[in-house]
Structure 1
Amino acid sequence: MVLGLCVSACSSSPDREYEIPGSLCGVTVPADRLEPFLPAGKEISVRPGAAEIDGIERCRLQVDGKEVLSFTTEWWEAGTGLREAATSAAGLSGHDSIGLGGDEKVREEPPYMYSKTGALAEVSCAKPRKADQELFASARVSDAGRPDEATMKKLIAAYAEAVGKSGECT
């Protein structure tokens, strides 16, 4: 009977036929931080966004051709705060709402701002590539019904830490 319950429960769980990527456009993020945001599917791809504006880099994760996560790094002038950076970061809309829904409660715990669908972090850089500026990292999930705020905070913390160890900061 126990085996029957396991088979039933296991077969109803989503199937991922792909491996979670070890790198997001050159930035290493632990798989356990990405996993809660990734749906069932056959193929995953990681694609850098077009560098249309100097100082802004994008990275998009797609499963079976549908975007599920996007990440951005953006340089701002020295002294820029989280709230100001949130006004233009991908998927963020200021101090009262964040993410895709627009009516979500924002948690502000410097150096992070986050909700269940979007997050922003100020990146700690030892040797910033742009010495007179500050670097911010953002993440956005395309499926608003998935993870919670705490999971998003863990994701942006891991991403910001990894960006802080990247070529942007060393």
Structure 2
Amino acid sequence: MNLALAISAAGLLIAGCSGSDGDGYTTPSSLCGIDVPADALEPVLPDGDSISASPTSSAYTKRCRLLIDAKPVFSAAVEWWGSSTTLQRVATDAIGVDPFDRATPDHNYIYSSTGAVGSVDCPNQKDLKGKIYVSVRTADATTEEKMKKFITSYSASVASSKECTRKWGQAQ
């Protein structure tokens, strides 16, 4: 596939756009097929003229990287972990967040100004034989509160998506 076609296809994956955020691009209302509130995503993205998405998947991870002006600036992932995995363990492996960063009182989210991890509460979690977590990171620091708003919104979006019924452990 040539580069122009690949970029066009990636642009289609961030379909469903919200209103303009004052930059040269329109903030997407989905990240590679997962709906996200634009009012949660827009504050964690930098200014720029154009935006595109680059999705990747493996047996246990679905990642969506956003590129602004052709530079990777944001990454969001949905990850399947073993049922005994803790949020702190996920934060240990995540980029942009540390297990000792701020946590919500319910201990479902850990976040910093550059990244966050969260637990996904799937309605049929018992059928997964594991646990789904989300992680995000940004190249440009934002505020902890903006990152917290995004990770909680993204986690809720994943919980209502097909990711909760996906057959994890198989390449997608």
Q: By the TM > 0.5 criterion, same fold?
A: yes
- Bigger Cα displacement from structure 2, 134-143 vs 79-88: 79-88
Partner of 2:158: 163
Q: Which runs of 5+ in 1 are unaligned?
A: 1-13, 97-105
Partner of 1:78: 83
Name the TM-score, length of structure 2 as normaliser: 0.76
User: Displaced runs of 4+ in structure 1, greater than 3 A?
Assistant: none
Q: 1:26 aligns with which of 28, 33, 41?
A: 33
Query: Highest Rg: 1 or 2?
Result: 1
For the residues of structure 2 that align with 1:40 and 1:121, how far apart are their CA atoms?
26
Q: Percent identity?
A: 42
Q: 1:61 aligns with which of 63, 66, 86?
A: 66
CA displacement at 1:127 relative to structure 2: 2.1
CA displacement at 1:47 relative to structure 2: 1.6
**Alignment partner of 1:95 is 2:99:** yes
Name the TM-score, length of structure 1 as normaliser: 0.77
For the residues of structure 2 that align with 1:44 and 1:129, how far apart are their CA atoms?
37
Contact between 2:46 and 2:140, CA under 8 Å: does it hold in 1? no
CA displacement at 1:17 relative to structure 2: 1.5
Residue aligned with 1:87, SS: helix
CA displacement at 1:90 relative to structure 2: 4.1
Q: Which has the higher strand share?
A: 2
Q: Deviations over 1:73-130 (max 9, x none)?
A: 11111121111111223444x423xxxxxxxxx1022100001111000000012496
**Alignment partner of 1:154 is 2:149:** yes
Partner of 1:107: 102
Contact between 1:68 and 1:142, CA under 8 Å: does it hold in 2? yes
CA 73–129 in structure 1, closer or farther in 2 if over 3 Å, else same: farther
Residue aligned with 1:54, SS: coil
Residue aligned with 2:26, SS: coil
**Alignment partner of 1:132 is 2:129:** yes
Q: Give the alignment's Cα RMSD to 1 decimal.
A: 1.9
- Give aligned pairs, total: 143
